[in-house]
Amino acid sequence: MPETGIPSRATAKALGQAIKKLRLKLGMSRKELAEKINRSWRTVEAAELGARVPITTLADMFEPLEVAPQTKRHLINLMFGQVPMTDLPVPQPPARLIGVARTLPSPALVVTAATWYVGYANDAARHMFPGLELYGNLAEWLLLDRHAQLVFDATDTAETGSVACSDDTGRWLQLANILLSGLQHLADGTMPDERLHQLQDRLRRAPEFHRLWSSTEGPLEAVAGSELIMRDPKTGATQRVHVTVQEWVFPYVAGENWWQISFTPVYDT
């Protein structure tokens, strides 16, 4: 913990942004939150505006804001100054993380935490996600590249064994919710604000962005772990997969800010 029990100015700003998002998500006023933590509404206002309020006051907000475990870990790491700031161009992930993803036979990516910039894609991912390298960001590829809906909008039709695309319930919307949930709830403080705003501006070009951004279920735990159907872009074959977003918590290495997102085949028993 910082010696004074007060977060740094940069950290306080990121924490304030995160707290405000969580409060608004619940439809709670500043006065209501203040009453729940036995503080004045001006204290809540100050925290949201990035003032350096005590860490204990910020932590008291977790329970009334219904902060989920992964989001809580992120906020605690912010408080203690343990969230590294990643800027572009994205550096190469550590060799040990690349080594894990490389050995997997199914698609796997090593990405920047919550902002989804791709540091490494294994052979299976490069095959399944054509065009991803042109964007360098999984969320951009998913929302803006025509290949994405071909890969993730595949649904099995048992009667014919063929593949059909759904206009409204496409499987790619599930993955979009995972990625946008990360951006909404866990990206503050991981990348300079200017970079985050630039990424969001590019994503807004997608016709579905505003509907998805306003309706993401979040937090990430609520939408990760989904089962999707993927279609091979070359053969057209479909496969149910389990989507997993993993944090590298052991062994812990300070200054690392990477996640692995894996698409593991699911087989009927």
Give me the helix-helix angle, 9-25 and 69-79, nearest 10°. Answer: 160
CA dist., res. 122 & res. 133, Å (int): 12
pLDDT at 183: 87
Q: Is it true that the peptide bond before 233 is cis, omega within 30 degrees of 0?
A: no
Distances (CA, A) of 48 to 114, 185, 220: 21, 15, 22
Rounded CA gap, 109 and 124, in Å? Answer: 10
The ranges of the chain annotated as CATH 1.10.260.40 are 9-79
Confidence at residue 166, expressed as pLDDT on a 0 to 100 scale = 42
Cis, bond preceding 107 (omega within 30 deg of 0): no
DSSP 258-269: EEEEEEEE----
Containing 157, the helix (H) or strand (E) segment is: strand 154-157
pLDDT tens for the chain, residues 1 to 269: 444 477 777 788 888 988 998 898 889 999 999 999 999 999 999 999 989 888 889 889 999 998 888 778 878 887 887 777 888 888 889 898 999 999 999 999 999 988 999 999 999 999 999 999 878 999 999 999 988 988 987 444 333 333 333 443 457 887 888 888 888 878 888 888 899 999 999 999 998 898 888 765 555 555 555 688 899 999 999 999 988 888 765 555 555 788 899 999 998 76
Q: Which amino acid is at 12?
A: A
Structure tokens at 25: 């998500």
What letter does residue 137 receive in the DSSP assignment?
Answer: B
Q: Read off the tokens for 188.
A: 């503050």
3-state secondary structure 71-87: HHHHHHHHHCCCCCCCC
Q: Where are the beta strands (DSSP E) in 182-269?
A: 227-231, 238-247, 258-265
pLDDT for the residue 37: 95
CATH hierarchy code of domain 9-79:
1.10.260.40
Task: Considering only CA atoms, give the Rg of the chain.
Answer: 20
pTM over 0.75: yes
Q: State which amino acid sits at residue 256.
A: E
